[in-house]
Structure 1
Amino acid sequence: MTQTLYLIRHGQTLFNQKGQIQGASDSPLTELGKEQAEAAKRYFDQLNLSDYELFSSTQERASDTLEILFPNEPYTRLKGIKEWNYGLFEGESELLNPPREKGVVLFGDFFAGYGGETADEVQERAVTTLTDIMKQTAKQNVIAVSHGDVLLLFARKSLPLEEVQKMHFGNCCILKFEYKGNKFRFIEIINPTVN
């Protein structure tokens, strides 16, 4: 059976708005973040999917986004698709992020030295979690709300770095993948527009 994975970034949060490193920390959706989720909801309303299962990161910004997308529907929260833990950099200004080295996906191992995770650790847990979901569900479609860096690292498993670097992972963007024979194939990125 060929299945479809819709992997979504949460709506804008207060930390996004203030330019703060968020990671394992959390902050609430802004009004714009809620509007972005409503725009993504309109996309899914048009698809009119019937055979699906819902998942969210354990973080509030992701579950709040999913509850706007699919109000009053049951879903499962999973730690495996939570955002990268940035250790001591959590809550600090994004200006403190290190420069990205050429060819290194995001920040490589940098944050591990400050109590956080490496890019490989985040990628491994996200890929394992999403693969397990696809193997275990009998549903045709899986919809999962996660985080920007998780989306980027997950996409990196299917696409060359140059293609991933050209993509814009805006709040509430949707990455669409086909899943067949234990493999994900990237289909498209959808960036719903707020009215």
Structure 2
Amino acid sequence: MTETRLYISRHGKTMFNTIGRVQGWCDTPLTKFGEEGIRELGRGLKDAGIPFKKAVSSDLGRTVQTITIAQRELGILGKIPYYQDKRIREWCFGSFEGMYDAELFNGVLPRISGIVDASTMSFEEIANGIQEADTAGWSESWEVLSHRILTGFESIARDLEAQGGGNALVVSHGMTIATLVNLLEPNRPTNLALDNGSVTVVRYESGRFTIEAVGDLSYRRRGAELLAKK
């Protein structure tokens, strides 16, 4: 059986990413800069010669836009199965959606948790702090959040393994990917800097994930070189 790997990319840079606003289940489109970054990603993945068997994104617009651009650059758009899975959505920030990042992470969370620097908090502490402060009651508990993320990626990998293995191109979100990495390797720092268009690679075998790369920007860099030569 062929090995099973998920090449998990963070979506391209969006309007809210650019101005530093919280973007969970709310959505803004990719900027022109963001679209170009994903063109680089797709071109770099194509140059690497990675054969993809299927493509999966979250159901949010920014990941759908991203995976469409990437597949077009790879030359596989419409040629391999593609579907959306809402389990690999970004975190839900409830009533804090659209707030400036600094207000949430340097203001609300430290006040709720009684700490000075939210960057020292675990993902579980952040999730539960947001849920405690969310007056709308929309945000998810850590138990719900972590379960949906892990089962979402496991489902993609299990299905692919059952089909004989291969590679899946997956587009998800920054904190969602970082949460998966943290669940698989709890000793890794939680403040992972996962850039837009970076690639995290996980191998799946017999019900277990192994992390092979986190936040890899080499595909984007190679794609940028190739596009610059045109």
Q: Normalized against structure 2, the TM-score is what?
A: 0.78
- Spell out the pairing of 1:133-152 with structure 2 (5 A cutoff): 133-137=156-160, 138=163, 139-152=165-178
- Are the aligned partners of 2:52 and 2:169 in contact in 1 as well (CA < 8 Å)? no
User: What does 1:2-81 align with in structure 2 at a 5 Å threshold?
Assistant: 2-71=3-72, 72-73=77-78, 74-81=81-88
RMSD of Structure 2 on Structure 1 (CA): 1.8
> Post-superposition shift, 1:126?
1.4
> Which secondary structure state, in structure 2, belongs to the residue aligned with residue 161 of structure 1?
coil
Q: 1:151: Cα distance to partner?
A: 0.5
Deviations 1:27-58 (A, max 9, x none): 01011111110111122102323341100000
Q: How far 1:132 moved relative to its partner? A: 1.3
Give the equivalent residue in structure 1 for 2:92. Answer: 85
Shift of the 86–68 alpha-carbon distance from structure 1 to 2, 3 Å rule, reads: same
Instruction: Please report the TM-score for the alignment, with normalisation by the length of structure 1.
Output: 0.91
Count of matched residue pairs? 194
Counterpart AA for 1:90: E
Separation in structure 1 between the aligned mates of residue 121 and residue 22 of structure 2, nearest angstrom: 22
The answer to whether residue 207 in structure 2 is matched with residue 182 in structure 1 is yes
Instruction: Give, in whole Å, the separation in 2 of the partners of 1:122 and 1:134.
Output: 19
> How far did residue 129 of structure 1 move?
1.2
CA distance in 2, matches of 1:78, 1:55: 7
Matched, 1:96 2:97: no
Deviation at 1:164, TM superposition (A): 5.0
Deviations 1:65-106 (A, max 9, x none): 000100232510110001111000001111221242635127
Return closer, same or farther for 1:32/1:186 CA change in 2, 3 Å cut-off.
same
Q: Is the Cα contact below 8 Å between 1:122 and 1:150 reproduced in 2?
A: no
For structure 2, the residue ranges without an aligned partner over 5 or more in a row are: 111-117, 226-230
Letter in 1 for 2:128: D
Correspondence 1:119-134 to 2 at 5 A: 119-134=142-157
Query: Residue 108 of structure 1 aligns with which residue?
Result: 127
- Contact residue 83 and residue 147 of structure 1 kept, 8 A: yes
Q: Which residue identity is paired with 2:129?
A: F
Displaced runs of 4+ in structure 1, greater than 3 A? 160-165
Cα distance in 1, alignment partners of residues 175 and 143 from structure 2: 12
Residue by residue over 1:87-146, the C-alpha shift from the partner in whole angstroms, topping out at 9 and shown as x without a partner, is: 000011112212426351271312223121234422211110111121122141111100
In structure 2, C-alpha distance between the alignment counterparts of 1:188 and 1:50, rounded to whole Å = 18
Letter in 1 for 2:123: V
Q: Percent identical across equivalent pairs?
A: 25
Pick closer, same or farther for the CA change 1:86–1:163 going to 2, 3 Å: closer
More helix by share: 2
